[in-house]
Amino acid sequence: MGVQVLAMSTDSRFSHKIWQEEELSKMVEGGVPFPMLSDGGGRIGKAYGVYEEAAGVDVRGRFLINPDGILLAMEILTPEVGRNVAELFRQVQAFQHVASTGEVTPSGWVPGKPTLKPGPALVGKVWKEWKPDKAF
């Protein structure tokens, strides 16, 4: 998809190595194919508002950052609920489509589905172009 993926936690690089060898490599052949970085002390987590000082950990989250360094989307979840990788892929595709075409993608958009062309002609008429049942 032409993106760079990084994983980060407050765990040490040694913990990441063990997690990769003992867990991830059993779920994904060869382990995850992207770097796992250590945020010891939570400096990065603090910058993104996900560091829990009392526990000394970063809360689980994902951040979509464009090539210009602009944060486009974020999702924060407590450990009890897993993230949706398919939704992450959909959002990356939507942001890439928007960047390359100038069109906008309505809720639930996936490649091949209709987009919207922003501008004065669309104001007050989105309902003609998009219905909530298209979000699923």
pLDDT averaged over the chain? 93
Residues 8 and 69 in one domain: yes
Does one domain contain both 69 and 88?
no
Whether residues 63 and 23 share a domain: the answer is: yes
Do 52 and 88 fall into the same domain?
Answer: no
Q: What is the pLDDT of residues 14-51, one digit of tens each?
A: 999 999 999 999 999 988 899 999 999 999 999 999 99
pLDDT of residue 130: 87
Same domain assignment for residues 59 and 104:
no
Q: What is the total count of domains within the chain?
A: 2
Domain interval for residue 125: 84-136
What is the Cα–Cα distance from 11 to 21, expressed in whole angstroms? 15
Are residue 8 and residue 68 in the same domain, yes or no?
A: yes
Residue 17: predicted pLDDT: 93
Q: What's the CATH code of the domain at 35?
A: 3.40.30.10
Q: Which of 32, 61, 80 is the last residue of a domain?
A: 80
Question: Which amino acid, residue 8?
Answer: M
Residues 4 and 57 in one domain: yes
